[in-house]
Amino acid sequence: MEHENKGNKPQVSFLSKENDYDTERKDRINHLKQEHDKTFVVIEKPEDMLKRILSERKISNSKTEIDNEQRLDYQTNNLLTMEIDVWSFEKYHYSEGLIVGIWPKGSFNYPDNLYWQYNQNILSLLKNTYGFYKIGLERAAISANTIYQPNEILALIDGCYPTSVIQSYSDYTGSPLWGCYTDEPFSRQNNPMPSGAYARYTLNTTKTWWKQKFGQNSIFVVGETTTSYAAEISSVVDYVNCSWYGYYFWPLTNDQRSRWTDFNNQFGYMFNHLWISGELDMGEMNQLIGHAQNMGKNSIWLYAAELGMSDQSYWESIYEFCYYSFTHGYLRREERRYIYVYTYNGIGELYEITSWDLTDIIDTSETRILSN
């Protein structure tokens, strides 16, 4: 057996041959194999490990030595087997002082379990399995929520309409919320963009009421601005965010790192809580999260509100986002050890991967937590 900590190579052992496997065992192997085949669940695939081990054995041992010392005896029904350690994703944990958040699918018009913000089982997965310890929720979802604590919730509000914010939250009686985020307060209005003075007035009105209601420690984040608004916006909000994906007054940017740099140069520490799109940024999350890390940002968020409920890309974007959040130090990764048992099928050379069949996957229940 291969032990990672000691660096030993897997040892070859003999097991008695079975003529058949029961259905339950087959189902268990197939289920685990499918789970481990998902993207970013098992980082080093067992087939690649087996191929590498066989290649190393071929170099270190001649065929004659194998035939003499480990000869297969079909008369006694012995088979050559090999066991390989495989570490599989179990859950993510938060890293001290860092924030990984998510804006999940939701709608005021459909506040039921068809939407992620209102499905408590999904919210539990997001928090307790994938490490999203902060979440953006709509007003109705905040009332329905049973998973996240108030100090873990970023309220999603419309900051350019202070009256609607006051009406929505004036009856809130729970503990203070962690903060609020005003997403795209101006792009839904007609051209031209409002003046900086008007933007400052509406946002300041909302912020003043919010701070009176929830306290000065409840952060106020604006998600739509431009660097030309810096003088007006900086004096109002706690944080600003660069959140656009192709509105008429901002060109579509496939790689927003240069825009992030511009905002960081203009707003400094106030530029934080960066959005990464689950739909538009798949395949780029390593570079984007790495850039956030290089700029010293302590808070990154997955914007997943545009993904379909039944769309597998929802989960795939979460897998990618969380994995690279781990590799760049924003999350810690807990893994579980499984033993993959491969058996020589008697066809071809011992060093050929096609000569080995996966005959069992053993759950050791052993876990480890990795930090980068």
From CA 154, how far away is CA 141, in angstroms rounded?
A: 11
In angstroms, the CA 211 to CA 205 distance is: 10
- For residue 11, give both structure tokens: 């040892």
Which pLDDT score is estimated for 34?
A: 94
Dist. CA 194–CA 172, nearest whole Å? 31
- Give the tokens for residue 84: 């390989």
pLDDT tops 90 at residue 199: no
Segment 267-325, tens digit of pLDDT: 899 999 999 988 888 899 999 999 999 999 999 999 987 665 556 778 899 999 999 99
Q: Kindly report the backbone phi and psi dihedral angles of residue 365, in degrees, each rounded to the nearest multiple of 5, phi listed first.
A: 70, 5
Q: What is the mean pLDDT of the chain?
A: 82
Summarize the confidence of residues 220-227 as an average pLDDT.
Answer: 75
pTM reported for the whole predicted model: 0.84
- For residue 343, pLDDT beyond 80: yes
pLDDT at 110 over 90: no
The widest CA-to-CA distance across the chain, in whole angstroms, is 90
Q: What is the pLDDT of residues 18-47, one digit of tens each?
A: 545 578 888 999 999 999 999 999 999 999
Strands in the chain per DSSP E: 12-16, 78-94, 99-103, 134-137, 153-157, 179-182, 219-222, 239-240, 274-277, 299-303, 331-344, 356-370
Minimum mean pLDDT range among 37-41, 172-176, 186-190: 186-190
List domains and CATH numbers for the chain.
12-89+334-370 (no CATH), 96-329 (3.20.20.70)
In Å, how far are 168, 210, 368 from 163, measured between CA atoms? 9, 11, 50
In one-letter notation, the amino acid at residue 270 is: M
